[in-house]
Chain A
């Protein structure tokens, strides 16, 4: 095709890039807000910070309509199966932001009831640190994710199929095993 015939207001691109561009600028978040970070997530969407400027203001409470899961807050052990089910219910392509110290690592709640980082059990694309992260930080996270989507998106999500192992820490890490052993020893010495 002769390029000179194309008028100024026509852009040439690949379908993949166009799809990724559209997706990056119209993220529909699923607010999985379980604790205090959720308040900050709400502030991000509200008028002062206005997440709509980045096209990500349409919080959907049905996972079927979302493509960005924002895990905001600590996830209790009993809640984890729910989180996993919601993640599985979201249609491809989808991304996940782990927001706040608790969702990323368990934060200060190193107890029997709190999951020590959701990335152990679901795939996470982006971590937003802080306790809680300020709305600006979350927005910076969303902008970085948009960048990631623009560079790594695909039409049918096939690149995800290759990631067949967890990207988080190994669920039974050495520290955990040491802790469990110590706890058991303590228990034996008590009885």
Chain B
């Protein structure tokens, strides 16, 4: 049975949307079923590697109904099969279950998504910022964050010749 058939038979009434581009298999799933689908992918379908977690901000995107899309890329190392899984979350406080308990690589990937988009992952053991400094307050890849920042660049002490 293909991945698509297995997922369809396991989650018959969740309206999973499948699509394909070349050898790229994609599925859109509801956020509420994410944990169950993760379990199924790991234990029944043998996707033993989570290679990518990222997000898309659909603010002001034409025809978009949800604010954030979160994208996961799974690989089945034995067969080389790849699956792109996408789910949507919304303001306020977009939250998803963490994939850390199943795939350890989710650790830094989820921290990055948290840092850049402010999406929290419940069950993540150490959800801190990973790229921006700890004292940073914004989530810079959100579309409502100005490209030039909100003046964060300037809050450093100035070292002059006399102090150095």
Residues of A within 8 A of B (CB): 77-78, 80-81, 84, 87-88, 90, 92, 94, 110-116, 120-123, 160-166, 171-172, 176, 179-180, 182-184, 186-187, 190-191
Contacts and interface: CB of A to CB of B under 8 A. Distances in A.
18 contacts: A78-B131, A81-B156, A112-B138, A112-B145, A112-B149, A113-B149, A116-B153, A121-B158, A160-B164, A161-B162, A164-B161, A164-B162, A166-B160, A176-B151, A180-B150, A183-B150, A186-B146, A190-B59
Contacts of A186: 144, 146
Contacts of B146: 112, 179-180, 182-183, 186-187
Nearest to A125: B161
B164 A123 contact: yes
A66 B59 CA distance: 50
Interface in B114-163: 131-133, 138, 140, 144-154, 156-163
Contact of B144 (A80, A160, A187): A187
Contact of A176 (B133, B154, B157, B162): B154
A121 B164 CA distance: 12
A183 B148 contact: yes
A88 B164 CA distance: 5
A45 to B, nearest CB: 25
